[in-house]
Amino acid sequence: MLVNSRLLNLLLIFLLLLISAGCSKKEDSSPLTPVTDVDGNVYNTVKIGSQTWMVENLKTSKYRNGDVIPANSSSLFGSLTTGAISSYYNSDGNTAKYGRLYNWYAVHDTRNIAPIGWHVSTDAEWVTLLNYVGSHLSATSPSVCKALAAKTDWAIYTGGPVNIIGDDLSKNNSTGLTLLPGGENNDGSYDGLSLFGVWWCSDEVDTDNAVERNVWSSNIEIYRNGFPKSRGFSVRCVKDY
């Protein structure tokens, strides 16, 4: 009887371990739930370390409460001190692929441009992201930038009027974040599509400038700068903790 009891206990422990392992495997392999903004745009998401990021640039044309964010693609864009958006060359195709370009006043508006349960990424969250990815890179692929950037859609700058679409830096997007080169709106002048991507942080530098992060096709670094709040840049959102 004692032997049978011990065998029974061992069998129960074994079954519990199998169940536990099965649950863990299911949780690890389950896709993350997409998020939808007030416009109905659906974004895929990815968990990197302790953070969950949108895989696409923000596209919404409204604040969270439904108020429309004024669209402005003229030279007056750079003189605004209230929220505004534009699409690169006013193209719906560019919006669908690269998202919209927002000035920082839209990012900072209390009506919020992020979907419920999400927020515009902070500079500190970019630091956390870069540190986590950097600590998990392999010796054969040591670039954080390459791990975060989309594999395609980057151009090789030729110094002339034509840019050759390619993958000159062998970006591998191993994290799945898929940073895209959406360019910018600088006082109504569009520049940089396929050459660089710039993302606002919610952090202010001073009265006129705010923090941004950027990636260039010709470099393997992710840079941090302060730029005028009137510029039109891309936005990535992070899930609330």
CB 68 within 8 A of CB 62: yes
pLDDT at 24 over 50: no
Q: What percent of the chain has pLDDT over 90?
A: 67
pLDDT at 8 over 60: no
From residue 27, how far is each of 12, 22, 32, 169 by CA, in Å? 23, 9, 10, 34
Q: Where are the alpha helices (DSSP H) in the chain?
A: 2-29, 92-98, 104-108, 123-135, 144-148
Residue type, 173: N
From CA 28, how far away is CA 12, in angstroms rounded?
24
At residue 20, the pLDDT reads 43
Residue with tokens 């054969």: 140
pTM, two decimals, is: 0.83
